[in-house]
Structure 1
Amino acid sequence: MRLDIVIKLAVALAMLAAGATGLAAPVDAATKAPGGFETKAKHAILMDADADLVFFEKEPDALVPPASMSKLMTLAVVFRELKAGRIKLEDQFKVTEHAWRTGGAPSGSSAMFAPLNSMVSVADLIQGVAVQSGNDACIILAEGISGSEDAFAKEMNKYAKEIGLTKSHFVNSTGLPADGHVMTARELAFLANFLIKSYPEYYHYFGEKEFNFGKWRFTNRNPLLFEDLGVDGLKTGYIDEAGYGLVASAKRGDQRVILVVNGLESKKDREEEPRRLLEWGFKSFKPYRLFDQGEKVSDALVWGGTRHYVPLVGNSNIDIILPFNTSGQVTAQIVYDGPIKAPIRKGDQVAKLRVTAADTKATNDIPLYAGEDVGQSNFAMRGLDSLFVLAFGWML
């Protein structure tokens, strides 16, 4: 059965109520952004990366052409292959005629201008994608990994579903216009967060401001990298069908936010609107510390264990995000499917801490983990536990 156990965080919540000087919470579809904030973008989402909380959204679930922003999925597959050891950064891939004509110099689209029939390293190709948005670089990587761009697109779709992109669909590796090549702003934000957390060893490519290749020197197309905003990635995009778009991530102190905008009318708008959204987000929403790493939050009930309870902790510091102008009044619950069946290993995710702001109804869901091992009890004790569940609904 589902147990929603209300807990009292007396010290932490009292401190919050007394000192809420700028805390942040998610703004969901039913919650208006503080101050009536709005944007020119047709589609937008701004979220806290670590808390997975949405601050602002506008038509974030509409399927639209993502243009070059879908190159993030291309690189997700490349990074997966690198991490698995199936390719190496120093591997050399051939520039085929298809890659050269479709995405290279003859195409008239963004390219790293890799010469026909030359060999280019995976490292250079990744920079060609992340910095220059080279369509030729994407196709060369796709063919080098999967044999053909069509086969690579199938890998993109397969991997996208595995990581939770249920709406997105990819037809090519480049984001060039194609029927059925679509993503949502929300899934672009999810993908950006996935790249940051799953492939930190490769994330630096998105923040490189320049890339030299042959006689060419390319400057990163993301204008926000050159401003004092804390932005360190990720990708721009533009096609006529979709307008101008951007996926950006910025970090200030311990707080990282992710922004996606699409459907803007000009490069100028693509620079100004994200800047405005990021500044607003950092000023309007702030994190607040509830528990330090390893500090016990509460206990969860256990069935069939050598103990009836397991302590719950975070796997890092536990922060919540609340609006700057919040009253600081929150409620907290421990939520889990329970009782939790033994054996339980220390570090198993077994519950979540749900903190809800009283005035905005914004909710923070924070994973909680077993703080200790709990072994399995003997048959007789498990039978007794079952009787308790049947008789009392596990009221220990």
Structure 2
Amino acid sequence: MDEFKKFLFYCFFSYFSLAAFPVSAFDIKARTAILQDYLSGEILYEKDIQRSIYPASMTKIMTSIVVFDLLKSGDLNLDDKVMVSENAWRLSQSGYSSMFIMVGDEVSIEDLLKGIIIASGNDACVALAEGVAGTEEEFAIMMNSKAAEIGMINTNFTNSSGINDPDNYSTVEDILLMSNYLIKNYPVYYSYFKEKTFTWDRTGGDPITQGNRNPLLYKNYGADGIKTGYLAVEKYSLASSIKKGERRLIAVGSGFETKNSRSRQSKKLLTWGLTNFDTIQIAKTDEEISNLDVWLGKKDKVQVYVKNDIYKTIPKARKKHLKAYIEYNGPILAPIEKDQELGILKILYKDEIINEFKVYAFEDIKKLNVISRIIKSINYLIWGDV
């Protein structure tokens, strides 16, 4: 009884690159930059994204991720203590951004993380790296292993802080991958990145309170991360993220000429993404998206689902050009097993297929008993009714 069938059930979404959806000319004043819609993964803006940069303190995103991995595995706990070495302390005395830890201090993993993420403390980076791996060099090996796992193919880390080193390099594209990974895998720890102040109740002195270096956090704009950077040779950089409702954008830029330019241009890029594009939810993982015809089953329809969230980002006012349908051989002969592959969800823009996703049975459908099958078959022969 199988016949080729198409089930149309949506009228929106696309996976085209930005070039497929031309919008008005747009540029920001940075040497290199990238903008991504977090849910769909769509790249909305790019400017020389594979240009090699010195990531400066954006390196600290990876330092945090390595520690978050160890917290997740149970190899570390937030209240574990690290003894501060003279090597780590010296960075607090050399004019770099610091948490101002002292030699011999025993500092918790959580305080060091906040000193890194909020206060951008280079001394905290070294202390944490030495506490985890013994030496900063060994910790850098862990950082590079994680970078390879994430897919950061144009990155090399030589230290935990991003301090001047010609062999500590990356790209805005790779920093974006790292930032996306951070937000997706560690949403609870990611909340550290939006904290505006950190007070270090240091040994042998009054508490020191420092503000977060990220200028966008203070603009009542919805920004909740991520990390600034500065090196004289690179100028100013920023990995930033904004969340409006369920929608999130991530931007990375480097080569801003001034602090003010970094702030203004990063906000301009994020605002442009929010203003010119919509993000559409097509399907949620393991949730019913539709139902298909069943032949000789105890149910006439079977619910189907996809195994991944599907979001699409499109320029505003383009929804009318988008369609989706499920293509399958149907009606589908019972019995049907839960999670059985049943067809293909196909996405079109102006009648051109641009994406395909497998769909699966949401439930078991048992076959009718013999008498019921005979009656249904006779009905079909007489009436053409399945």
TM range (shorter): 0.7 to 0.9
Counterpart of 1:74 in structure 2 is 63
C-alpha contact 1:71 1:174 (8 A) present in aligned 2: yes
Counterpart of 1:9 in structure 2 is 8
Q: AA paired with 1:56?
A: Y
Cα deviation, residue 164, structure 1: 1.8
C-alpha contact 2:79 2:109 (8 A) present in aligned 1: yes
> Structure 1 CA distance, aligned partners of 2:62 and 2:182?
9
- Structure 1, gaps ≥5 residues long: 17-22, 300-309, 336-342, 375-396
SS at match of 2:165: coil
Cα deviation, residue 61, structure 1: 1.6
Alignment partner for residue 92 of structure 2, among 90, 93, 104? 104
Counterpart of 2:80 in structure 1 is 91
Counterpart of 1:305 in structure 2 is none
| 2:119 equivalent to 1:132 | yes
- Aligned residue pairs total 340
Deviations 1:237-274 (A, max 9, x none): 01012111111111111111111111100000011001
Cα deviation, residue 283, structure 1: 0.8
SS at match of 1:217: strand
Q: AA paired with 1:238?
A: Y
Counterpart of 1:239 in structure 2 is 231
Counterpart of 1:141 in structure 2 is 128
Counterpart of 2:186 in structure 1 is 199
Alignment partner for residue 217 of structure 2, among 216, 219, 225? 225
Alignment partner for residue 289 of structure 2, among 285, 293, 296? 296
Cα deviation, residue 33, structure 1: 5.4
Scaled by the length of structure 2, the TM-score of the pair is 0.79
> Structure 2 CA distance, aligned partners of 1:355 and 1:62?
33
Counterpart of 1:384 in structure 2 is none
| 2:321 equivalent to 1:329 | yes
Say if 1:325 and 1:373 are closer, same or farther in 2 by CA, change over 3 A: closer
Cα deviation, residue 148, structure 1: 0.2
SS at match of 1:286: strand
Cα deviation, residue 6, structure 1: 11
Q: Give 1:254-293 correspondences, 5 Å limit.
A: 254-291=246-283
> Structure 1 CA distance, aligned partners of 2:341 and 2:134?
39
Q: AA paired with 1:264?
A: F
C-alpha contact 1:24 1:323 (8 A) present in aligned 2: no
Say if 1:169 and 1:279 are closer, same or farther in 2 by CA, change over 3 A: same
Say if 1:315 and 1:227 are closer, same or farther in 2 by CA, change over 3 A: farther
SS at match of 2:187: coil
- Residues 209-218 or 158-167, more deviating: 158-167
> Structure 1 CA distance, aligned partners of 2:194 and 2:356?
29
> Structure 1 CA distance, aligned partners of 2:326 and 2:74?
40
SS at match of 1:38: coil
Say if 1:67 and 1:88 are closer, same or farther in 2 by CA, change over 3 A: same
C-alpha contact 2:61 2:179 (8 A) present in aligned 1: yes
- Structure 2, gaps ≥5 residues long: 202-206, 293-301, 328-335, 365-386
Deviations 1:196-222 (A, max 9, x none): 111112111001011000221010010
Say if 1:199 and 1:349 are closer, same or farther in 2 by CA, change over 3 A: farther
Counterpart of 1:38 in structure 2 is 27
Scaled by the length of structure 1, the TM-score of the pair is 0.77
SS at match of 1:283: helix
> Structure 2 CA distance, aligned partners of 1:288 and 1:333?
16
Aligned CA RMSD, in angstroms, stands at: 3.3
Cα deviation, residue 8, structure 1: 5.5
SS at match of 2:271: helix
Deviations 1:3-24 (A, max 9, x none): xx996635x21xx4xxxxxx88
Q: AA paired with 2:288?
A: E
Counterpart of 1:184 in structure 2 is 171
SS at match of 1:71: helix
SS at match of 2:320: coil
> Structure 2 CA distance, aligned partners of 1:130 and 1:351?
46
Q: AA paired with 2:172?
A: A
